[in-house]
Structure 1
Amino acid sequence: MNFFKSELTHFKALELALMGSILLCNIESSTAEMTGNKQIKNIDNLSQGAVEIAQNKVCPAANLLPIRTFDTEKYYVYVCKGDNQNPLGYYVRIPKNLDSKITVPISENNRETYVAINGEVTYQITPYEMLIVKSGRIILREKVVSVVKANGQALAKGCPQGNNTFAQAETRSFFIYICGVENPSSYISITRTSNTIINLPLQKWNQNGVKTNRYVAINGDISFVLTDKILRVSRDGRNIVKEKVLQWGYQ
Protein backbone atom coordinates (compact mmCIF):
# COMPACT_ATOMS: atom_id res chain seq x y z
CA MET A 1 0.00 0.00 0.00
CA ASN A 2 2.99 2.30 0.60
CA PHE A 3 3.85 1.95 -3.08
CA PHE A 4 0.42 3.08 -4.22
CA LYS A 5 0.40 5.99 -1.77
CA SER A 6 3.77 7.13 -3.10
CA GLU A 7 2.59 6.71 -6.68
CA LEU A 8 -0.56 8.69 -5.99
CA THR A 9 1.49 11.42 -4.33
CA HIS A 10 3.86 11.50 -7.29
CA PHE A 11 1.04 11.95 -9.75
CA LYS A 12 -1.26 14.11 -7.61
CA ALA A 13 -0.32 17.41 -9.21
CA LEU A 14 -0.32 15.83 -12.66
CA GLU A 15 -3.74 14.24 -12.37
CA LEU A 16 -5.31 17.31 -10.76
CA ALA A 17 -3.94 19.52 -13.52
CA LEU A 18 -4.94 17.21 -16.32
CA MET A 19 -8.24 15.88 -15.11
CA GLY A 20 -9.43 19.20 -13.68
CA SER A 21 -8.88 20.96 -16.97
CA ILE A 22 -10.36 18.08 -18.88
CA LEU A 23 -13.51 18.11 -16.80
CA LEU A 24 -13.87 21.89 -17.05
CA CYS A 25 -13.62 21.71 -20.82
CA ASN A 26 -16.12 18.87 -21.01
CA ILE A 27 -13.90 16.37 -22.69
CA GLU A 28 -15.81 13.21 -23.22
CA SER A 29 -13.73 10.87 -21.11
CA SER A 30 -14.84 7.33 -21.32
CA THR A 31 -14.32 4.36 -19.13
CA ALA A 32 -16.40 2.38 -21.56
CA GLU A 33 -14.94 -0.67 -23.20
CA MET A 34 -12.79 -0.02 -26.27
CA THR A 35 -10.94 -2.27 -28.67
CA GLY A 36 -9.10 -2.37 -32.00
CA ASN A 37 -9.93 -4.80 -34.74
CA LYS A 38 -6.96 -6.95 -33.86
CA GLN A 39 -7.99 -7.03 -30.21
CA ILE A 40 -11.59 -8.22 -30.67
CA LYS A 41 -11.57 -11.69 -29.18
CA ASN A 42 -13.90 -14.10 -27.41
CA ILE A 43 -13.09 -16.87 -24.98
CA ASP A 44 -12.27 -19.26 -27.83
CA ASN A 45 -9.22 -17.11 -28.56
CA LEU A 46 -7.99 -17.24 -25.00
CA SER A 47 -5.46 -20.03 -24.54
CA GLN A 48 -7.00 -23.42 -23.87
CA GLY A 49 -5.07 -23.63 -20.62
CA ALA A 50 -6.91 -20.67 -19.13
CA VAL A 51 -10.28 -22.12 -20.11
CA GLU A 52 -9.46 -25.52 -18.63
CA ILE A 53 -8.25 -23.95 -15.39
CA ALA A 54 -11.40 -21.84 -15.11
CA GLN A 55 -13.52 -24.94 -15.61
CA ASN A 56 -11.70 -26.50 -12.65
CA LYS A 57 -13.16 -23.91 -10.27
CA VAL A 58 -10.23 -21.61 -9.56
CA CYS A 59 -12.30 -19.51 -7.15
CA PRO A 60 -12.13 -20.20 -3.40
CA ALA A 61 -15.70 -21.52 -3.22
CA ALA A 62 -17.79 -23.61 -5.59
CA ASN A 63 -20.49 -20.95 -5.87
CA LEU A 64 -18.00 -18.21 -6.80
CA LEU A 65 -17.18 -17.81 -10.47
CA PRO A 66 -14.55 -15.71 -12.29
CA ILE A 67 -15.88 -12.38 -13.54
CA ARG A 68 -12.59 -11.54 -15.28
CA THR A 69 -9.93 -13.80 -16.77
CA PHE A 70 -6.58 -12.15 -17.57
CA ASP A 71 -3.91 -13.75 -19.74
CA THR A 72 -0.29 -12.57 -19.47
CA GLU A 73 2.91 -14.11 -20.79
CA LYS A 74 3.50 -16.31 -17.75
CA TYR A 75 0.27 -16.21 -15.73
CA TYR A 76 -3.47 -16.54 -15.70
CA VAL A 77 -5.16 -14.15 -13.29
CA TYR A 78 -8.79 -14.55 -12.28
CA VAL A 79 -11.01 -12.07 -10.49
CA CYS A 80 -13.66 -14.05 -8.64
CA LYS A 81 -17.00 -12.89 -7.31
CA GLY A 82 -17.16 -11.81 -3.71
CA ASP A 83 -18.97 -13.27 -0.72
CA ASN A 84 -20.09 -12.04 2.70
CA GLN A 85 -16.55 -12.23 4.03
CA ASN A 86 -14.90 -10.46 1.08
CA PRO A 87 -17.56 -8.57 -0.94
CA LEU A 88 -15.04 -7.14 -3.45
CA GLY A 89 -14.03 -10.62 -4.53
CA TYR A 90 -10.80 -12.56 -4.83
CA TYR A 91 -7.60 -12.28 -6.87
CA VAL A 92 -6.36 -15.67 -8.06
CA ARG A 93 -3.02 -16.00 -9.88
CA ILE A 94 -1.87 -19.25 -11.47
CA PRO A 95 1.51 -19.67 -13.24
CA LYS A 96 1.25 -21.32 -16.65
CA ASN A 97 4.17 -23.66 -16.05
CA LEU A 98 3.72 -24.49 -12.35
CA ASP A 99 1.12 -26.31 -10.30
CA SER A 100 0.51 -23.55 -7.77
CA LYS A 101 -2.08 -20.90 -6.97
CA ILE A 102 -2.24 -17.64 -5.01
CA THR A 103 -5.61 -16.48 -3.70
CA VAL A 104 -5.88 -13.06 -2.03
CA PRO A 105 -9.00 -11.01 -1.14
CA ILE A 106 -9.41 -7.91 -3.30
CA SER A 107 -9.09 -4.68 -1.32
CA GLU A 108 -9.76 -2.18 -4.10
CA ASN A 109 -11.65 -2.22 -7.40
CA ASN A 110 -11.89 0.92 -9.49
CA ARG A 111 -12.22 1.33 -13.27
CA GLU A 112 -11.19 -2.28 -13.95
CA THR A 113 -8.18 -1.89 -11.65
CA TYR A 114 -8.06 -4.68 -9.09
CA VAL A 115 -5.75 -4.51 -6.06
CA ALA A 116 -5.12 -7.30 -3.55
CA ILE A 117 -2.75 -7.08 -0.57
CA ASN A 118 -1.08 -9.92 1.27
CA GLY A 119 1.26 -8.61 3.96
CA GLU A 120 4.03 -6.61 2.30
CA VAL A 121 3.11 -7.87 -1.18
CA THR A 122 0.58 -5.99 -3.33
CA TYR A 123 -0.95 -7.44 -6.47
CA GLN A 124 -2.50 -5.13 -9.06
CA ILE A 125 -3.99 -5.97 -12.42
CA THR A 126 -5.69 -3.86 -15.10
CA PRO A 127 -6.67 -4.69 -18.69
CA TYR A 128 -3.21 -3.42 -19.68
CA GLU A 129 -0.70 -4.80 -17.19
CA MET A 130 -0.09 -6.91 -14.09
CA LEU A 131 2.06 -5.60 -11.24
CA ILE A 132 3.46 -7.31 -8.16
CA VAL A 133 4.98 -4.97 -5.59
CA LYS A 134 6.91 -5.94 -2.48
CA SER A 135 7.80 -3.38 0.17
CA GLY A 136 7.19 -0.53 -2.29
CA ARG A 137 9.36 -2.05 -5.04
CA ILE A 138 8.04 -3.53 -8.28
CA ILE A 139 9.25 -7.12 -8.48
CA LEU A 140 7.20 -8.20 -11.50
CA ARG A 141 5.49 -6.37 -14.36
CA GLU A 142 3.82 -8.12 -17.27
CA LYS A 143 1.59 -6.88 -20.06
CA VAL A 144 -1.92 -8.28 -20.27
CA VAL A 145 -2.47 -10.05 -23.58
CA SER A 146 -6.24 -10.39 -23.28
CA VAL A 147 -9.11 -10.12 -20.80
CA VAL A 148 -12.32 -12.16 -20.93
CA LYS A 149 -15.51 -11.30 -19.07
CA ALA A 150 -17.81 -13.75 -17.33
CA ASN A 151 -20.05 -13.97 -20.40
CA GLY A 152 -17.14 -15.19 -22.52
CA GLN A 153 -16.64 -11.95 -24.45
CA ALA A 154 -13.42 -9.99 -24.52
CA LEU A 155 -13.06 -6.93 -22.35
CA ALA A 156 -12.23 -4.32 -24.97
CA LYS A 157 -9.26 -1.99 -24.72
CA GLY A 158 -7.20 0.27 -26.93
CA CYS A 159 -8.87 1.74 -30.00
CA PRO A 160 -12.67 1.67 -30.38
CA GLN A 161 -14.27 -1.09 -32.38
CA GLY A 162 -14.10 -0.38 -36.09
CA ASN A 163 -10.96 1.76 -35.74
CA ASN A 164 -7.42 0.96 -36.75
CA THR A 165 -4.48 1.45 -34.40
CA PHE A 166 -2.02 3.71 -36.23
CA ALA A 167 0.45 3.89 -33.35
CA GLN A 168 0.73 2.95 -29.72
CA ALA A 169 3.11 4.15 -27.05
CA GLU A 170 4.01 3.44 -23.46
CA THR A 171 5.50 5.98 -21.05
CA ARG A 172 6.08 5.83 -17.32
CA SER A 173 2.57 7.10 -16.60
CA PHE A 174 0.46 6.31 -19.67
CA PHE A 175 -0.55 3.87 -22.36
CA ILE A 176 -1.40 5.82 -25.52
CA TYR A 177 -3.20 4.78 -28.71
CA ILE A 178 -3.57 6.72 -31.96
CA CYS A 179 -6.80 5.57 -33.57
CA GLY A 180 -8.87 6.18 -36.67
CA VAL A 181 -10.54 4.56 -39.64
CA GLU A 182 -8.72 5.61 -42.81
CA ASN A 183 -6.48 8.21 -41.15
CA PRO A 184 -5.49 8.94 -37.53
CA SER A 185 -8.31 10.87 -35.87
CA SER A 186 -8.17 10.35 -32.11
CA TYR A 187 -5.70 10.35 -29.22
CA ILE A 188 -6.57 7.88 -26.45
CA SER A 189 -4.59 7.86 -23.22
CA ILE A 190 -4.89 5.49 -20.25
CA THR A 191 -3.37 6.47 -16.91
CA ARG A 192 -1.39 3.52 -15.56
CA THR A 193 -2.05 4.20 -11.88
CA SER A 194 -5.83 4.56 -12.10
CA ASN A 195 -6.83 3.18 -15.52
CA THR A 196 -8.51 6.52 -16.33
CA ILE A 197 -9.20 7.00 -20.06
CA ILE A 198 -9.27 10.24 -22.01
CA ASN A 199 -10.25 10.45 -25.66
CA LEU A 200 -9.36 13.57 -27.68
CA PRO A 201 -9.66 14.37 -31.39
CA LEU A 202 -6.35 14.82 -33.16
CA GLN A 203 -5.69 18.36 -34.35
CA LYS A 204 -2.94 17.38 -36.76
CA TRP A 205 -0.49 14.67 -37.61
CA ASN A 206 2.66 14.91 -39.66
CA GLN A 207 3.98 12.33 -42.08
CA ASN A 208 7.55 11.07 -41.89
CA GLY A 209 7.92 9.16 -45.10
CA VAL A 210 5.53 6.23 -44.95
CA LYS A 211 5.10 6.29 -41.19
CA THR A 212 3.55 8.95 -38.98
CA ASN A 213 5.55 9.94 -35.92
CA ARG A 214 4.03 13.15 -34.49
CA TYR A 215 0.52 13.60 -33.18
CA VAL A 216 -1.10 16.63 -31.57
CA ALA A 217 -4.34 16.83 -29.61
CA ILE A 218 -5.58 20.04 -28.00
CA ASN A 219 -8.15 20.76 -25.32
CA GLY A 220 -8.49 24.44 -24.52
CA ASP A 221 -5.13 25.60 -23.20
CA ILE A 222 -3.80 22.05 -22.78
CA SER A 223 -1.94 20.41 -25.64
CA PHE A 224 -0.79 16.80 -25.98
CA VAL A 225 2.13 16.16 -28.32
CA LEU A 226 3.27 12.58 -28.90
CA THR A 227 6.23 11.43 -30.96
CA ASP A 228 8.09 8.14 -31.06
CA LYS A 229 10.58 9.63 -28.58
CA ILE A 230 8.64 11.73 -26.09
CA LEU A 231 5.26 12.73 -24.71
CA ARG A 232 4.70 16.39 -23.82
CA VAL A 233 1.60 17.71 -22.13
CA SER A 234 1.63 21.48 -21.76
CA ARG A 235 -0.59 24.34 -20.65
CA ASP A 236 -0.07 27.75 -22.26
CA GLY A 237 3.29 26.58 -23.56
CA ARG A 238 4.55 25.31 -20.18
CA ASN A 239 5.22 21.58 -19.78
CA ILE A 240 3.19 19.86 -17.07
CA VAL A 241 4.19 16.38 -18.27
CA LYS A 242 7.32 15.39 -20.13
CA GLU A 243 8.00 11.67 -20.36
CA LYS A 244 10.20 9.49 -22.49
CA VAL A 245 8.46 6.96 -24.72
CA LEU A 246 9.51 3.56 -23.38
CA GLN A 247 7.88 1.52 -26.14
CA TRP A 248 6.58 2.54 -29.53
CA GLY A 249 4.88 0.53 -32.21
CA TYR A 250 2.82 0.63 -35.36
CA GLN A 251 0.03 -1.77 -36.26
Structure 2
Amino acid sequence: MIVFTNRTIKKKILIVQFNNLLPNFWYGLGILSLLVSSASAIPKSENFTQNPDSFPNYCQPEESLFIVAETKGFWVNICGGDLPHTYVGVSKINGNKIRLPLKEYDRQGDYFEAVNQDVSYLLIRGSTKGDFLTVTQGDRELFRQPLLDWHEE
Protein backbone atom coordinates (compact mmCIF):
# COMPACT_ATOMS: atom_id res chain seq x y z
CA MET A 1 0.00 0.00 0.00
CA ILE A 2 1.34 3.43 -1.01
CA VAL A 3 0.86 6.29 1.41
CA PHE A 4 1.17 9.87 0.17
CA THR A 5 2.02 12.59 2.63
CA ASN A 6 0.90 16.19 2.24
CA ARG A 7 4.51 17.05 1.40
CA THR A 8 4.60 14.50 -1.46
CA ILE A 9 1.30 15.76 -2.87
CA LYS A 10 2.42 19.40 -2.65
CA LYS A 11 5.67 18.51 -4.42
CA LYS A 12 3.77 16.77 -7.26
CA ILE A 13 1.42 19.76 -7.60
CA LEU A 14 4.39 22.14 -7.81
CA ILE A 15 6.02 20.00 -10.50
CA VAL A 16 2.80 19.98 -12.57
CA GLN A 17 2.40 23.76 -12.16
CA PHE A 18 6.03 24.31 -13.16
CA ASN A 19 5.63 22.14 -16.26
CA ASN A 20 2.49 24.09 -17.22
CA LEU A 21 4.31 27.44 -16.88
CA LEU A 22 7.45 26.36 -18.75
CA PRO A 23 6.10 26.93 -22.31
CA ASN A 24 4.98 30.48 -21.37
CA PHE A 25 8.44 31.11 -19.95
CA TRP A 26 10.11 30.14 -23.23
CA TYR A 27 7.74 32.37 -25.27
CA GLY A 28 8.41 35.27 -22.92
CA LEU A 29 12.14 34.64 -23.10
CA GLY A 30 11.93 34.73 -26.90
CA ILE A 31 10.20 38.12 -26.80
CA LEU A 32 12.66 39.47 -24.24
CA SER A 33 15.63 38.28 -26.30
CA LEU A 34 14.54 40.78 -28.95
CA LEU A 35 15.04 43.55 -26.38
CA VAL A 36 18.33 42.48 -24.74
CA SER A 37 21.31 44.78 -25.26
CA SER A 38 24.38 43.72 -27.19
CA ALA A 39 26.45 45.13 -30.04
CA SER A 40 25.21 44.56 -33.57
CA ALA A 41 25.61 46.15 -36.99
CA ILE A 42 22.05 47.29 -37.65
CA PRO A 43 21.48 50.10 -40.18
CA LYS A 44 21.14 53.62 -38.79
CA SER A 45 17.90 55.45 -39.52
CA GLU A 46 19.73 58.51 -40.91
CA ASN A 47 20.81 56.39 -43.90
CA PHE A 48 17.31 54.97 -44.22
CA THR A 49 15.71 58.36 -44.79
CA GLN A 50 18.45 59.88 -46.94
CA ASN A 51 19.21 56.96 -49.24
CA PRO A 52 16.35 54.65 -50.29
CA ASP A 53 18.88 52.08 -51.59
CA SER A 54 20.07 51.59 -48.01
CA PHE A 55 16.72 50.28 -46.75
CA PRO A 56 17.43 47.13 -44.76
CA ASN A 57 16.07 44.15 -46.69
CA TYR A 58 15.71 40.97 -44.63
CA CYS A 59 13.58 39.16 -47.24
CA GLN A 60 14.80 35.96 -48.88
CA PRO A 61 16.57 36.49 -52.25
CA GLU A 62 13.59 35.07 -54.16
CA GLU A 63 11.09 37.32 -52.34
CA SER A 64 9.87 40.83 -53.08
CA LEU A 65 10.17 43.54 -50.43
CA PHE A 66 6.79 45.24 -49.95
CA ILE A 67 7.24 47.34 -46.80
CA VAL A 68 10.16 48.56 -44.70
CA ALA A 69 9.10 50.05 -41.37
CA GLU A 70 11.23 51.40 -38.55
CA THR A 71 10.58 51.90 -34.84
CA LYS A 72 13.01 52.94 -32.13
CA GLY A 73 13.90 49.31 -31.47
CA PHE A 74 13.04 47.35 -34.62
CA TRP A 75 13.16 47.07 -38.38
CA VAL A 76 10.16 45.34 -39.95
CA ASN A 77 10.00 43.98 -43.49
CA ILE A 78 6.90 42.67 -45.20
CA CYS A 79 8.03 40.21 -47.86
CA GLY A 80 6.28 38.09 -50.46
CA GLY A 81 5.90 37.10 -54.06
CA ASP A 82 3.09 38.64 -56.07
CA LEU A 83 1.34 39.35 -52.75
CA PRO A 84 2.73 39.91 -49.24
CA HIS A 85 3.02 36.71 -47.20
CA THR A 86 5.83 37.08 -44.63
CA TYR A 87 6.59 39.33 -41.63
CA VAL A 88 10.25 39.78 -40.65
CA GLY A 89 11.08 41.68 -37.46
CA VAL A 90 14.69 42.48 -36.51
CA SER A 91 15.88 43.99 -33.23
CA LYS A 92 18.12 47.02 -33.70
CA ILE A 93 19.66 46.29 -30.31
CA ASN A 94 20.97 42.77 -30.86
CA GLY A 95 20.00 41.71 -34.40
CA ASN A 96 17.66 38.93 -33.26
CA LYS A 97 15.20 38.14 -36.04
CA ILE A 98 11.77 36.56 -36.25
CA ARG A 99 10.24 35.44 -39.55
CA LEU A 100 6.56 34.50 -39.63
CA PRO A 101 3.83 33.94 -42.22
CA LEU A 102 1.24 36.71 -42.36
CA LYS A 103 -2.10 35.72 -40.90
CA GLU A 104 -3.91 38.81 -42.18
CA TYR A 105 -3.26 42.02 -44.06
CA ASP A 106 -5.31 44.66 -45.81
CA ARG A 107 -4.92 45.30 -49.53
CA GLN A 108 -4.18 49.00 -48.93
CA GLY A 109 -1.01 47.98 -47.07
CA ASP A 110 -1.84 49.67 -43.77
CA TYR A 111 -2.30 46.57 -41.57
CA PHE A 112 -0.22 43.39 -41.29
CA GLU A 113 -0.58 40.65 -38.67
CA ALA A 114 1.67 37.66 -38.04
CA VAL A 115 1.08 35.12 -35.28
CA ASN A 116 3.43 32.76 -33.44
CA GLN A 117 1.41 30.55 -31.07
CA ASP A 118 -0.42 33.11 -28.88
CA VAL A 119 1.90 36.02 -29.70
CA SER A 120 0.70 38.47 -32.38
CA TYR A 121 2.87 40.97 -34.23
CA LEU A 122 0.87 43.88 -35.69
CA LEU A 123 2.22 46.56 -38.00
CA ILE A 124 -0.40 49.30 -38.32
CA ARG A 125 -0.45 52.60 -40.20
CA GLY A 126 -3.18 55.23 -40.37
CA SER A 127 -5.22 54.13 -37.34
CA THR A 128 -6.89 56.54 -34.92
CA LYS A 129 -4.14 55.60 -32.43
CA GLY A 130 -1.41 56.43 -34.95
CA ASP A 131 1.20 54.35 -36.76
CA PHE A 132 2.87 51.64 -34.68
CA LEU A 133 4.26 48.17 -34.17
CA THR A 134 2.65 46.27 -31.33
CA VAL A 135 3.27 42.79 -29.93
CA THR A 136 0.56 41.10 -27.89
CA GLN A 137 0.28 37.80 -26.07
CA GLY A 138 -3.34 36.80 -25.76
CA ASP A 139 -5.16 39.93 -24.56
CA ARG A 140 -2.01 41.48 -23.04
CA GLU A 141 0.04 44.05 -24.94
CA LEU A 142 3.73 43.23 -24.46
CA PHE A 143 4.89 46.45 -26.10
CA ARG A 144 3.94 49.15 -28.59
CA GLN A 145 6.40 51.33 -30.48
CA PRO A 146 5.45 54.21 -32.79
CA LEU A 147 6.67 54.03 -36.38
CA LEU A 148 9.53 56.41 -37.16
CA ASP A 149 9.55 55.66 -40.87
CA TRP A 150 7.65 53.62 -43.45
CA HIS A 151 8.62 52.87 -47.02
CA GLU A 152 6.66 50.95 -49.64
CA GLU A 153 8.57 49.29 -52.46
TM-score (norm 2): 0.65
Equivalences for residues 9-28 of structure 1 within 5 A? 17=28, 19=30
Aligned partner letter, 1:172: K
Seen in structure 2, the aligned counterparts of structure 1 residues 183 and 207 have a Cα distance that, compared at 3 Å, is same
2:127 is equivalent to residue 226 of structure 1? no
Q: Paired residue for 2:4?
A: none
**Which residue in 2 is equivalent to 1:243?**
145
Name the CA shift for 1:160/1:213 in 2 (closer, same or farther; >3 Å): same
Q: Which runs of 4+ in 1 moved over 2 A?
A: 141-147
Tell me the CA shift for residue 17 of structure 1.
Answer: 2.5
* 2: CA distance, partners of 1:191 / 1:127: 8
Aligned partner of residue 172 in structure 1, secondary structure: coil
Aligned counterparts, 1:22-101, within 5 A: none
8 Å contact kept, 2:119–2:135? yes
Q: Which residue matches 1:207?
A: 107
Structure 1 residue ranges without an equivalent (≥5): 1-15, 23-108, 114-125, 130-140, 148-155
1:163 is matched by which residue type in structure 2? Answer: E
Please give the secondary structure, in 1, of the residue aligned with 2:30.
Answer: helix
Equivalent pairs, count:
114
- Structure 2: tracts of 5 or more residues without a match: 1-26, 126-130
Kindly provide the amino acid, as one letter, of the partner of residue 76 in structure 2: I
Q: For residues 62 and 97 of structure 2, what CA distance do their matches in structure 1 show?
A: 18
| Bigger fraction of residues in strand | 1
Identity %: 24
Instruction: State which structure, 1 or 2, has the greater radius of gyration over its C-alpha atoms.
Output: 2
The 1-side partners of 2:29 and 2:92 are apart by 14
**Structure with greater proportional helix content:** 2
Report the CA distance between 1:168 and its aligned residue: 1.1
The equivalent position to 2:93 in structure 1, one of 190, 193, 197, is: 193
User: Match for residue 72 of structure 2?
Assistant: 172
TM-score in terms of structure 1 length: 0.41
Name the Cα RMSD after superposition. Answer: 2.7
